[in-house]
Amino acid sequence: MPHDHHDHSGLSPSGHPYRADNDTPLSYWQRMEIAVRELLIEKGHLDAAAVAAQIDAMDARSPANGAAVVARAWTDPAFKARLLDNASQACRDMGFDIGPLHLIAVENTPDTHNMIVCTLCSCYPRNLLGLPPDWYKTREYRARAVREPRAVLREFGVDLPDSTTIRVHDSTADMRYIVLSARPAGTDGMTQDQLAALVTRDSMIGTGLPRTP
């Protein structure tokens, strides 16, 4: 039971370490964020509700948005051409509010597999897909994805033959990336919604493949 006596220094009933309470002093940048936010509110440039609304808007974004984009590209050749030409505009045309996001879609083909990383920090197409998974931000993924992408892919369960060229994309600057996977076999006649359910978050990062029906 959650509130039976237990030892907080050990593991939770589900076997995970307890996260320490955030009792440490604020860092310089945490104090700076609070100071700037309070000044902006005091001076009437925004209010707390507006800050909360932005957090809600970001939390409402999810990989489902990207899955809808990919599924449409699988079924609509004209849209796919627009997506590969200008992915930001193609997403906006579908009604997604992606703000100033500069998006590039990279296409997997029978002989090419694409994979996304940001070695410098954690750049990710948040305005389309929402927040990145924790592992995407780890030093381990960031360092290994560019040096041994095939080993990393195998750990994700994707074992590609030597005949497949792997293209790793390091989002070092102003662009963000989404992988357009190949449409899985056996999906003829499926609707866009049914297809979108096959598109996983990891398939859009390139560390996974879409589900098969």
Residue 123 designated active-site = yes
Are the beta carbons of 88 and 114 closer than 8 angstroms?
Answer: no
Using CB under 8 A, which of 64, 94, 175, 182 touches another protein?
Answer: 175
Using CB under 8 A, which of 109, 165, 191, 194 touches another protein?
Answer: 165
Q: Is 171 in the site for another protein (CB under 8 A)?
A: yes
The Cα–Cα gap between 12 and 22 comes to 18
CB atoms closer than 10 angstroms to residue 200? 18
Are the beta carbons of 165 and 115 closer than 8 angstroms?
Answer: no
Q: Which residues contact 211 (CB under 8 A, 6 or more apart)?
A: 184, 197, 198, 199, 200
**Shortest Å distance, C-beta 207 to another protein:** 15
Q: For residue 103, which amino acid is it?
A: L
| Contacts to another protein from residues 92-111, by CB under 8 A | 102
Residue 91 designated active-site = no
With CB under 8 A as the contact rule, which of the stretches 15-23, 66-74, 89-97, 173-181 interacts with another protein?
173-181
Q: Is 32 in the site for another protein (CB under 8 A)?
A: no
Binding site for another protein (CB under 8 A): 102, 119-120, 146-151, 162, 165-175
